[in-house]
């Protein structure tokens, strides 16, 4: 399990339930490493500001994370975390590696504007 204050997705079934039951979802799939921890922190902060977005994490090394590791949008990604943004159950954006707050908010504002 990842040690973050985000909601955790542990199975492929939970992943499907989360993206089907929430209009706007951000899932960070990573480890507790130096490229991932800052992204978790940004998401934790933004969860207070973006109440209309569901923020989750998922362990990259879990066999269940195939639901993220195998989507076409991440093919060719070289660094973790993989951050996937879903709108109405569909991937609208995917990023890899470390992101700063400005990069994340730009994506949230573009795809999940209220």
In a domain, 60, yes or no: yes
Q: Is the pLDDT of residue 52 over 90?
A: yes
Tell me the average pLDDT of the chain. 97
**Residue at 2 is within a domain:** no
The pLDDT assigned to 49 comes to 95
The tokens for 96 are: 């890899």
Tally of domains within the chain: 1
Domain hosting 41: range is 7-111
1: in domain: no
Is 85 a member of any domain?
Answer: yes
The pLDDT tens digits for 5-29 are 999 999 999 999 999 999 999 999 9
User: What is the pLDDT at residue 114?
Assistant: 75
Q: Is the pLDDT of residue 66 over 80?
A: yes
Q: How many CB atoms lie within 10 A of CB 52?
A: 12
- Cβ–Cβ under 8 Å, residues 33 and 80: yes
Please give the average per-residue pLDDT across 54-68, as a whole number: 98
pLDDT band at 1 (very low <50, low <70, confident <90, very high): confident
Looking up residue 90, the CATH number of its domain turns out to be: 3.40.30.10
């Amino acid at each position: 399990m990842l040690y973050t204050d985000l909601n955790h997705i542990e199975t492929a079934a939970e992943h499907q339930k989360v993206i089907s039951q929430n209009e706007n979802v951000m899932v960070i799939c990573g480890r507790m490493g130096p490229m991932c921890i800052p992204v978790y922190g940004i998401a934790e902060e933004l969860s207070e500001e973006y109440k209309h977005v569901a923020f989750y994490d998922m362990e990259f090394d879990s066999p269940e994370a195939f639901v993220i590791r195998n989507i076409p949008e991440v093919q060719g990604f070289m660094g973790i975390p993989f951050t996937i943004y879903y709108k109405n159950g569909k991937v609208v954006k995917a990023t890899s590696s470390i992101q700063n707050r400005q990069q994340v908010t730009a994506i949230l504002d573009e795809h999940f504007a209220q």
